[in-house]
Amino acid sequence: MTDSTRTSSTVRRRLPARDLAQIAIFAALIAALGLAGPLNIGPVPITLQSLGVMFAGAILGPRKGTLAVLLFLVLTLVGLPLLAGARGGIGVFTVSPAAGYLYGWLFGAFVIGFLTARLLPKYPFWPALGATILGGVVAVYLIGIPVMALNLGLPLWTTIGLNIAFVPGDLIKVVLTVLVTSQVHRAYPGLIALPQGRRTA
């Protein structure tokens, strides 16, 4: 067996066809949620795509969820107009006020997936709500706000104030994510591999 064949076989074992399909489906979901168009009330548009990021982490877990977001971002980076408002290309990852939020999506999906895996199989509402807020809001803002301040040349506290308008909408997305995710994991247990030592029932 050649080295290339061995490497290909290893990749297939690590990411079977079902996992690859799930990653592709959620990357497509994030893209589709951008078709609604952005709501511009500040330097960063409000979109439904962050809802897709939350779904990816909560339903697919830390590895597959993060890879789904990464796939979406790579396709956007190479120029596909997948972001809300038909935006794409390297500029949205560098000079755009929203650039930090794109990187924050990766971190957020991982945090949501990591914490969700530790709440399954029961997935209680309030802990799930807290986990999704930590990943879908806190983690994303933790990267998004400083990068926005840098790209706009604004003080950090001023930039934090500009982002307050986004919080109510993001919290609505968090609640929707938890409600949908609880039904998905009840209907399709096993979508997220549980940490070692945890049982499915």
Report how far residue 36's alpha carbon sits from residue 16's, in angstroms, rounded to the nearest whole number: 32
Interval 53-106: pLDDT, tens: 999 999 999 999 999 999 999 999 999 999 988 889 999 999 999 999 999 999
Residue 194 lies in a domain: no
- Measure CA 146 to chain center: 19
Residue 7 lies in a domain: no
Residue 197 confidence (pLDDT) above 70: no
Provide the domain count of the chain: 1
Give pTM, 2 decimals.
0.88
Q: The CATH number of the domain where 161 resides is what?
A: 1.10.1760.20
- Count of CB atoms within 10 A of residue 149's CB? 20
The larger pLDDT score, comparing residue 126 to residue 85, is at 126
Question: Mean per-residue pLDDT for 115-121?
Answer: 96
Residue 31 lies in a domain: yes
Residue 88 lies in a domain: yes
pLDDT band of residue 165 (cuts 50, 70, 90) is confident
Which pLDDT does position 195 carry in this prediction?
A: 82
- Count of CB atoms within 10 A of residue 18's CB? 10
**Backbone φ and ψ of 88, nearest 5°:** -170, 180
Residue range(s) defining the domain that contains residue 169: 17-187
Residue 192 lies in a domain: no
Average pLDDT, the chain: 88
Contact 116, 193 (CB under 8 A): no
Instruction: Based on DSSP, count helices (H) and strands (E) in the chain, helices before strands.
Output: 9, 0
